[in-house]
Amino acid sequence: MNIDHDKLIFDEKGLIPVVVQDWISSEVLMVGYSNREALEKSEQTGFLHFFSRSRQELWKKGESSGNFMEIMEIRSDCDNDSILAKVRINGPACHTGERSCFFKTILGGETPSLSFIKELETCLKERIQSDPDKSYTARLNQKGLAEISKKIGEEGVESALAIASGNKENSVYEIADLVYHLLVGMIVSEINIENIILELQNRHKSE
């Protein structure tokens, strides 16, 4: 990474806002502030650093929680007075334990979000380790990869038949079952959603 600091516009206190986004789901995780030193540290280490306005000191995100933010890409906006940082993080970004700091709805209702797939992946990783008597996911994992693969095949056929029938409602139901079992199979096989996204991106670029 090589940031041209002279092109960035810092405020009167020498700070610039940093919007942090999950690099796969595009979910907004938090907003912080950086000064030149924090940006330099981010460049040098590859992990996001901020300047704390309350403590008046430099800090590395994840120092307390262990949920460090690995930088995948940094962009500036059209006026060069704010920054977008796309990161990879294993765990919640918010100090409350929520994945994103923006978990409070103050206007409007919940809408479908692709970021839920990433949340579901994280949830399933936890459930796989839970009590098989209380979790279907744990029971499925206990049966082994062969059984999981069999379920993926069954759900794939049922999804195809539902789509062929033209019944949208049933298709959505069956596809949801297929996606769930695919995720479980991916987790057991140590395949992350990131691996699939990158493969699709590479195929798209080669066309």
* 13-31 tens-digit pLDDT: 999 999 999 988 888 999 9
Asked if the 115-206 domain carries CATH number 1.10.287.1080, the reply is yes
pLDDT, the chain, mean: 93
Which residue has 């430099």 as its token pair?
Answer: 58
Please compute the mean of the pLDDT values over residues 146-166 and round it to a whole number. Answer: 97
Radius of gyration, CA atoms only, the chain:
21
Name the helix (H) or strand (E) containing 188.
helix 168-188
Q: For 5-88, which CATH class?
A: alpha beta
User: Between vectors from CA 140 to CA 112 and to CA 137, what angle results, nearest 5°?
Assistant: 35
28-34/16-22 β-pairing = antiparallel
3-state secondary structure 86-125: EEECCCCCCCCCCCCCCCCCCCCCCCCCCHHHHHHHHHHH
Average pLDDT over residues 117-122: 87
Phi and psi, residue 71, nearest 5° = -80, 125
Closest listed residue to residue 161, CA positions, set 146, 148, 173, 151? 173
Q: pLDDT band at 131, cuts 50/70/90?
A: very high
Give the residue-averaged pLDDT of 104-133.
86
Q: Tell whether the model's pLDDT for residue 50 goes beyond 90.
A: yes
pLDDT category at 91 given cuts 50, 70, 90 is confident
Buried b (16+ CB within 10 A) or exposed e, 140-151: bbeeeeeebeeb
Which comes out higher in pLDDT, residue 131 or 197? 131
Q: pTM for the full model?
A: 0.72
Of residues 4 and 206, the one with the higher pLDDT is: 4
Whether 1 has a pLDDT exceeding 70, the answer reads: no
| pLDDT surpassing 70 at residue 176 | yes
Cα–Cα separations (whole angstroms), residue 146 to 139, 175, 185, 190: 13, 20, 10, 15
Q: Give the per-residue pLDDT at 207.
A: 61
Biggest alpha carbon–alpha carbon distance for the chain: 63
pLDDT exceeds cutoff 80 at 110: no
Give residue limits of the domains in the chain: 5-88, 115-206
